[in-house]
A and B are shown apart, each in its own frame.
Chain A
Amino acid sequence: MKEPVNQTFQTALIAAIPNLRAFAISLCGNVQTANDLVQETMLKAWANRHRFEEGSNFKAWLFTILRNSYFSDFRRGKREVRDEDGVAAASLSSLPEQHGHMDMIDFQRALAQLSEDQKEALILVGAEGFSYEETAEICGCAVGTIKSRVNRARARLVELMGVGSADDFGPEGVSQAVMSKAVQ
């Protein structure tokens, strides 16, 4: 007979997989390594499920396990083969044409060139929507450190993407940029 707690845990774990995977792919820059990393995270989470404190942030807990696994084993192991073109093709294959497939591949290449600290902070704050405080906790460092990493990551992306003139935006790009600004 199954304990209902385990059922709940498993359901929550399943729900978090898409985000764990997106974070892992962003970190590893390699889909296969990322999948291995997510599997390991799932196994560790399951094995340590009694350690999760009820009422605390489950997603943040899972992300902590994932990034710790990445920095302790996966990165050091360097098991990934750097194949950025292949990665871009594999992970973005289903991107609709009208959304600027090439732009996204360029973006992914630029992202891959960030330092791992910066990339991690940028993704957690800028894409995953964790607060600076939550991100600091996940990464095990000070809030100020996270803020500065995010700022550096953004500045570096600007350099890497080479968006140096208003021409790069086009009329549509500008209005989108303004609109997304207004929403924030």
Chain B
Amino acid sequence: MKNKGQDATSASEGTTGGCSCPEGTSEKESALMPGSTFAVDEPHAILDELIQAQIGQQLSSFYKELVNQPIPQNFIDLLAKLDRLEDGT
């Protein structure tokens, strides 16, 4: 006999489509329902925000690291060459 609260998963699955097959979802579908690939049945929205914030932070750190790398020497040489060309020599 089923008691109360048995269908918690389906109740909280308020998003479009009942299919919860992660492999089968296309790019488009998963964008529309970003939380759909997780077997999480309650704090969907909060978790999703945290994940997005986490990813945003990793993206920033990753990019900042690249921006802070020293400029390769041949770039500086190239600019010097352009400079000399401009002098007409």
Provide the bound-state CA to CA distance between A99 and B65, in Å.
11
- Choose one: A17, A22, A148, A181; the contact of B49 (CB below 8 Å): A181
Bits for B28-62, please: 1 = Cβ < 8 Å to A, else 0. 10110010011110010001111111111111111
Residue A180 interfacial (CB < 8 Å): yes
Q: A10-B82, A38-B75 are in contact. List 15 more A-B contacts (CB 8 A).
A: A21-B66, A21-B69, A104-B65, A107-B58, A126-B59, A128-B63, A154-B52, A158-B34, A158-B51, A163-B51, A164-B40, A165-B40, A177-B53, A177-B57, A180-B53
Residue B72 interfacial (CB < 8 Å): yes
| Contact indicator A6/B86 (Cβ below 8 Å) | yes
Q: Which residues of A contact B78 (CB under 8 A)?
A: 39, 42-43
Give chain B nearest CB distance to A38 CB in angstroms: 7
Smallest CB-CB separation from A150: which chain B residue?
B31
Q: A18-B68, A156-B27 are in contact. Are A176 and B57 (CB under 8 A)?
A: yes
Q: What interface size band does chain B fall in?
A: 35 or more
Bits for A1-21, please: 1 = Cβ < 8 Å to B, else 0. 011001000100110011101
Residue B67 interfacial (CB < 8 Å): yes
Top 5 A-B pairs ranked by shortest CB distance?
A: A22-B66, A127-B63, A177-B53, A152-B31, A155-B34
Q: Which residues of A contact B53 (CB under 8 A)?
A: 177-178, 180-181
| Contact indicator B79/A10 (Cβ below 8 Å) | yes
Which residues 157-172 in A have Cβ within 8 Å of B in the complex? 157-159, 161, 163-166, 169
Residue B16 interfacial (CB < 8 Å): no
Which of A103, A158, A165: most chain B Cβ within 10 A? Answer: A158
Provide the bound-state CA to CA distance between A119 and B30, in Å.
16
- Choose one: A2, A107, A152; the contact of B28 (CB below 8 Å): A152
A-B contact pairs, 19 of them (CB 8 A): A17-B75, A22-B63, A39-B75, A43-B78, A91-B66, A99-B61, A107-B58, A108-B62, A122-B59, A123-B59, A127-B59, A152-B31, A154-B52, A158-B48, A159-B22, A163-B51, A164-B39, A177-B53, A180-B56
Smallest CB-CB separation from B46: which chain A residue?
A166
Residue B87 interfacial (CB < 8 Å): yes
Smallest CB-CB separation from A24: which chain B residue?
B66
Q: Which residues of B contact A3 (CB under 8 A)?
A: 86
Residue B74 interfacial (CB < 8 Å): yes
Smallest CB-CB separation from B66: which chain A residue?
A22
| Contact indicator A104/B31 (Cβ below 8 Å) | no
